[in-house]
Structure 1
């Protein structure tokens, strides 16, 4: 087990952060904590993509003029591009989520999910 964790520590970190994010989304009653859990879950997915794209001994995908492209061991830039795009989308979704949370608090005066369900049932 120790050898596995020493070789694949990034994947272990991914699953720990993923588990914490899922737990926060499921167990928390506060909407802000749920949004933080979603962001943690999202961060774990980003880390997983970057860890999968790692190439042992690889270099940046820039081919020098004197080298044959078939001789170089390079990392694919596609996962990094996908993660950068996902980070931008995640920031936008977080901003929209926070705006909705502010609006919900202004309307109902609480951020607890169970209290919001009771208030909505009374209307």
Structure 2
């Protein structure tokens, strides 16, 4: 039978690998999705740091085995911060799409010819 720690570590690994793959893509939506998945993987890691107990009470009491509430509070705070950061990154991606006319991270379509525009004051 698989242990809970192995399942959590496998899940974190799969989510992290998917996030890194999406971060390497050229489109802004994939990059935003990869950043969100990476945040979820970090949240799962922090949640797992509070020890994984089966049938342990979630509150502090007289029980000999209880879960640690600090990682749960950290994950809750990280979820709120991650939501705000994701909203900000989506706004930046939309602004970049509007200004550059492309949804690629570098602003250029692959295979398109790049025309260098001289800076002001140059010939």
TM range (shorter): 0.7 to 0.9
Give the root-mean-square deviation of aligned CA atoms: 2.4
- 1:77 paired with 2:75, answer no
What is the aligned residue count? 112
Is this contact kept in 2: 1:61–1:74, CA < 8 A? yes
User: CA-to-partner distance for each residue in 1:29-76, whole Å, 9 max, x for gaps?
Assistant: 00111010011111111112222322344212232xxxxx4x531111
**Secondary structure, in 3 states, of the residue corresponding to 1:110?**
coil
CA distance in 2, matches of 1:100, 1:115: 13
1:115–1:105 distance in 2 versus 1, CA, 3 Å: closer
CA distance in 2, matches of 1:60, 1:114: 47
Is this contact kept in 1: 2:22–2:34, CA < 8 A? yes
Taking structure 1 as the reference length, the TM-score comes to 0.78
CA distance in 2, matches of 1:73, 1:115: 54
Tell me the equivalent position of 1:30: 27
Structure number with the higher helix fraction is 1
Is this contact kept in 2: 1:10–1:51, CA < 8 A? yes
Mark the runs of 5 or more structure 2 residues left unpaired by the alignment: none
Larger RCO of the pair (alpha carbons < 8 Å, separation 6+)? 1
- 1:41 paired with 2:38, answer yes
Is this contact kept in 1: 2:100–2:107, CA < 8 A? no
1:88–1:39 distance in 2 versus 1, CA, 3 Å: same
CA distance in 1, matches of 2:59, 2:64: 9
Mark the runs of 5 or more structure 1 residues left unpaired by the alignment: 64-68
